[in-house]
């Protein structure tokens, strides 16, 4: 059974508008390339209680959730601690994370041409980035080696924690998908066909939509109303999407139904997913 995928975006900078979220469009892209889809996204600021409550919901679900942001070691980074609170687990320095962080510190010292001082206060502080809830698994970071982590929840799902920086987060999310969820990939061709319907009300078209989904269970019907489109004005984009092998029959049934309904139809649209 294909899992439900969710996304959590953490950070005051997103909710204040200081930075625009780029994670959701990218996660949608990464999932779509594998025949998967994003079911929901939650945005939460740097408030520990809210982050903890959001993570508790994620852990209680059976979903696969990606959490972006807040796993650093500065005072406004709370996600690691909140993950522990949400699970009721203590934080502990993950041995593999410690080794990777120390390796990174040695790389930086070498690049700067200075001795590596493991006991220097700032280097000791950096080890906090490897403090994860007990039983966490690491997610490798190809950008700078500082790992993220994954934790399983009591509901049967998992939450995968990555940094807020896209250059790090996106390849880490892709790694999780490829290494843990490849069995759920559906790379069979998917397609979407729709038509612009002028002047109709969604409520009057609902019986037709329900009949199409009942007769073609592999296909989903969608309806996108618009009241002020610059080209088409008030209209509904009505269509079907699903496996390329199943869509044509559903599409023909939809067009026949619209003809019998007497709908005023405009341009037809095709999109490969």
What are the domain boundaries of the chain? 5-184, 190-272
Query: Nearest-CA neighbor of 151 among 70, 91, 76?
Result: 91
Higher pLDDT, 121 or 189: 121
The set of residues, in sequence order, having a beta carbon less than 8 Å from that of 199 and lying 6+ positions away, is 234, 235, 264
Burial letters 162-188, b for 16+ CB under 10 A, else e: bbbeeebbbbbbbbbbeeebeeeeeee
Q: Does residue 190 carry a pLDDT above 90? A: no
Tell me what pLDDT residue 100 has.
97
Tell me what pLDDT residue 1 has.
81
Tell me what pLDDT residue 201 has.
85
Q: What does CATH list as the number for 190-272? A: 3.30.70.600
Beta-bridged to residue 160, according to DSSP, are: 66, 150
Strand 190-198 with 220-229, pairing: unpaired
- Adjacency order of strands within the sheet including 233-243: 220-229, 233-243, 190-198, 264-272
**Architecture of the domain whose range is 5-184:** 3-Layer(aba) Sandwich (3.40)
Question: What pTM did the predictor assign?
Answer: 0.83
pLDDT tens string 43-58: 999 999 999 999 999 9
Tell me the pLDDT band of 230, cut-offs 50, 70 and 90: confident
């Amino acid at each position: 059974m294909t899992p439900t995928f969710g996304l959590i975006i953490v950070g005051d900078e997103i909710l204040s508008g200081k930075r625009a979220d780029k994670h959701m469009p990218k996660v949608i892209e990464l999932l779509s390339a594998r025949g998967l889809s994003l079911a929901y996204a939650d945005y939460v600021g740097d408030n520990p209680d809210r982050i903890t409550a959001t993570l508790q919901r994620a852990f209680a679900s059976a979903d696969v959730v990606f959490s972006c942001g807040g796993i650093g070691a500065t005072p406004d980074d709370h996600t690691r601690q909140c993950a522990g609170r949400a699970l009721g687990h203590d934080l502990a320095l993950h041995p593999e994370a410690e080794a990777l962080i120390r390796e990174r510190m040695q790389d930086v010292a070498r690049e700067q041409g200075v001795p590596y001082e493991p006991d220097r206060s700032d280097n000791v502080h950096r080890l906090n980035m490897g403090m994860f809830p007990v039983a966490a698994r690491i997610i490798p970071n190809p950008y700078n080696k500082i790992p993220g982590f994954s934790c399983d929840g009591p509901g049967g799902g998992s939450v995968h924690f990555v940094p807020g920086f896209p250059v790090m987060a996106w390849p880490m999310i892709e790694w999780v998908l490829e290494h843990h969820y490849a069995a759920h990939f559906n790379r069979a061709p998917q397609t979407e066909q729709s038509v612009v319907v002028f002047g109709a009300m969604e409520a009057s078209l609902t019986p037709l939509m329900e009949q199409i989904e009942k007769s073609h269970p592999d296909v989903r019907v969608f309806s996108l109303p618009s009241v002020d489109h610059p080209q088409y004005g008030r209209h509904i984009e009505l269509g079907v999407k699903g496996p390329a092998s199943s869509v044509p029959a559903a599409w023909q049934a939809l067009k026949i139904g619209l003809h019998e309904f007497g709908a005023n139809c405009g341009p037809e649209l095709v999109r490969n997913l």
